Amino acid sequence: MSFFEAHRALLDEAVNACRTRAYWSAFPEIASGRIYGETAKADGEAAFKAMLGKPFDLGQPGGAQVGKEVSPYGMPLGTTYAAADVDAIVNASLKAGEGWAQASIEDRVGVCLEIVDRINKQSFLMANAVMHTTGQAFMMAFQAGGPHAQDRALEAIAYAYEEMNRVPRSVNWTKPQGKGDPIVLDKTWRIVPRGISLVIGCATFPTWNGYPAIFASLATGNSVIVKPHPGAILPLAITVKIGRDVLKEAGFDPNVLMLAPDNADAPITQDLVTHPGVAIVDFTGSPAFGQWVRENAGTDLVFTEEAGINSIVIDSTHDFRGMCSNIAFSLSLYSGQMCTAPQNIFVPSGGIETNDGHKSFDDVAGGVATAIDKLLGDPDRAAAILGAVQNEATAKRVDEARKLGRVVRDSAPAPVAGFDQARTASPLLLAVDAKDDRAWGEERFGPIAFVIRTESTEDSIILAAQSAKRKGAITASVYSTNDRVIDKAADAFARAGVALSVNLTGGIYVNQSAAFSDYHVSGANPAGNACLTDSAFVANRFRVAPLRRQKAA
């Protein structure tokens, strides 16, 4: 049975899920031995440890070894990767792409599905690799780095598959000519890929943010060069290795999928982005570099997820404690290092009405602070939620942020058992006035949040939506018992291109973005120009070449 046939039922389900956007998931998020195999956890850890301190062989052309990853939990990984000359990588990718471009839609999609399936089987290995590059806690690294990322890959494959199939493969075109013979043309169309697709990974969610582009480009026939962040190479190296194995088995040149690793002190990203051989660029990272990529790429086809400033507007609530707990979790999860994490909490100076009676501005700020303290009171639970801080610059940013407002809750280290050297920080919560937009009006990546005193909820909505338009935003959240307020927020955030969540309490958080349902990033504000995943994300990765043959008379 072909790879395509083997995975076809799953693909059909995925296509259907993209259409309905009801809850669906292909890859179980529960890190259970009953699902992944009794020894999967131990095997994954062992496989990870076996990769440390030695070269990682991808079987790619390449020379000197690069790779200086250091776990945010303290230890250097010591894994190295063969670096390659940019021209050599591009040429190998170009050459490999020729055969890949000729393959049928089904053959390519089948290979992609098989790759994702095999990645799924390595979810525990991936969890370790993601944990010790991004700093995510183990469970999050398993879920977001494993099955959730795999779901995002499958979503992109499903979109690409459906989009290619919207182009009919052939038709008999018969144009009547009154009483004369009709004009008859046999028309066929073929999918033509763009060429080389460059995917630039980030350090916090290398697989989750990288997979949609990798698999959308592969499925549509492009060869892919994955440029990992120098701080998070291993998860994408494992991905590329699995991909190359499957490609080889299916009879393709494995250079259809290549890794282009580098060290931070000798970066190659700019050389790749500006290379005339590159036809598509996908970028996840900072707005500063994102802007450079958009302005300097050698191609017009650039998809970005940059960053934004996410807001919570608090107007009123039926569940004050539930609201505070929910916000506390959103601020704490992965120490605020999610692109979907809130930074700004807008509260009217007159306070709010709640099920526990009126709460002043300070009551609300205090309520959130108390909820954070309670959530992180148990050190083991704190470590499991916060994880570690990926980048030293983020830790430094937290230190410097204290002076930006009145400290409502201070950030503190959050020790992780077994990792004495882990770089950690719990949320810093600051109270500021709306006019202090020098403080809250900039992105403060990491566990830094502001409770902002506004004139009114209307003022809060205006400020948050304006900030989204100006600086970008991926998520917004509103708490209100008043439908008119909710409608007003819905209008304002829709116009600003921000995904809005309303009255979240309990086990669902504004940070979470579900594959097959939530459109991640709108592309309609500076937080990014692309969405994971919609038609626009896939439709331009290939073109259509028409052929019409006149029927012999």
Q: Does 318 bind a copy of itself (CB under 8 A)?
A: yes
Q: Does 121 bind a copy of itself (CB under 8 A)?
A: no
Q: Does 539 bind a copy of itself (CB under 8 A)?
A: yes
Say which DSSP state 519 is in: -
- Contacting a copy of itself (CB under 8 A), which of 493, 511, 527, 532? 493
Cα–Cα distance measured from residue 66 to residue 425, given in angstroms and rounded to the nearest whole number: 30
Cα–Cα distance measured from residue 468 to residue 462, given in angstroms and rounded to the nearest whole number: 10
Q: Closest CB to a copy of itself among 163 and 305?
A: 163
Q: Closest CB to a copy of itself among 39 and 535?
A: 535
CA angle (47, 48, 49) in 5-degree steps:
95
User: Nearest approach, Cβ of 156 to a copy of itself (angstroms)?
Assistant: 15
Q: Closest CB to a copy of itself among 4 and 479?
A: 479
- Contacting a copy of itself (CB under 8 A), which of 10, 46, 70, 536? 536
Q: Is the link from the previous residue into 533 a cis peptide, with omega within 30 of 0?
A: yes
Nearest residue to 234 via CA among 58, 10, 36: 58
Instruction: Report in angstroms the alpha-carbon separations of 31 from 18, 121, 237.
Output: 25, 11, 22
- Contacting a copy of itself (CB under 8 A), which of 302, 333, 431, 532? 302
User: Nearest approach, Cβ of 29 to a copy of itself (angstroms)?
Assistant: 10
Instruction: Report in angstroms the alpha-carbon separations of 182 from 60, 331, 517.
Output: 56, 68, 47
User: Nearest approach, Cβ of 257 to a copy of itself (angstroms)?
Assistant: 21
Q: How many residues belong to the site for a copy of itself (CB under 8 A)?
A: 69
Residues 6+ apart with CB under 8 A from 441: 309, 467, 471
- Contacting a copy of itself (CB under 8 A), which of 457, 501, 511, 533? 501
- Contacting a copy of itself (CB under 8 A), which of 194, 227, 423, 488? 194
Q: Does 16 bind a copy of itself (CB under 8 A)?
A: no
- Contacting a copy of itself (CB under 8 A), which of 12, 19, 57, 296? 19
Q: Closest CB to a copy of itself among 136 and 304?
A: 304
User: Nearest approach, Cβ of 14 to a copy of itself (angstroms)?
Assistant: 15
Q: What are phi and psi of 416, to 5 degrees?
A: -115, 120
Cα–Cα distance measured from residue 434 to residue 63, given in angstroms and rounded to the nearest whole number: 54
Q: Which of residues 268-297 bind a copy of itself (CB under 8 A)?
A: 294
- Contacting a copy of itself (CB under 8 A), which of 117, 168, 317, 466? 168
Instruction: Report in angstroms the alpha-carbon separations of 107 from 110, 141, 215, 265.
Output: 5, 31, 14, 40
Cα–Cα distance measured from residue 431 to residue 362, given in angstroms and rounded to the nearest whole number: 9
Q: Closest CB to a copy of itself among 88 and 545?
A: 545
With beta carbons less than 8 A apart as the criterion, state whether 293 and 306 touch.
Answer: no
With beta carbons less than 8 A apart as the criterion, state whether 90 and 223 touch.
Answer: no
Q: Does 256 bind a copy of itself (CB under 8 A)?
A: no
Cα–Cα distance measured from residue 517 to residue 32, given in angstroms and rounded to the nearest whole number: 24
Q: Does 166 bind a copy of itself (CB under 8 A)?
A: yes
Strands, sheet with 257-259, edge to edge from the N-terminal-most edge strand: 257-259, 223-227, 196-200, 278-284, 302-305
From 16-24, 104-112, 362-370, 400-408, give the range in contact with a copy of itself by CB under 8 A.
16-24
DSSP secondary structure string for all residues of 418-462: TBTT----PPEEEEEETT-HHHHTS---SSEEEEEEES-HHHHHH
Q: Does 354 bind a copy of itself (CB under 8 A)?
A: no
User: Tokens representing 228?
Assistant: 């990992």
- Contacting a copy of itself (CB under 8 A), which of 434, 499, 515, 527? 499
Cα–Cα distance measured from residue 475 to residue 498, given in angstroms and rounded to the nearest whole number: 6
Q: Does 524 bind a copy of itself (CB under 8 A)?
A: yes
Q: Does 177 bind a copy of itself (CB under 8 A)?
A: yes
Q: Closest CB to a copy of itself among 337 and 525?
A: 525
- In the complex, the residues that contact a copy of itself under the rule CB under 8 A are 19-23, 101, 163, 166-168, 171-177, 183, 185, 187, 189-190, 192, 194, 294, 300, 302, 318, 486, 490, 493-495, 497-508, 514, 517-519, 522-524, 529, 531, 534-536, 539-540, 543-550, 552-553
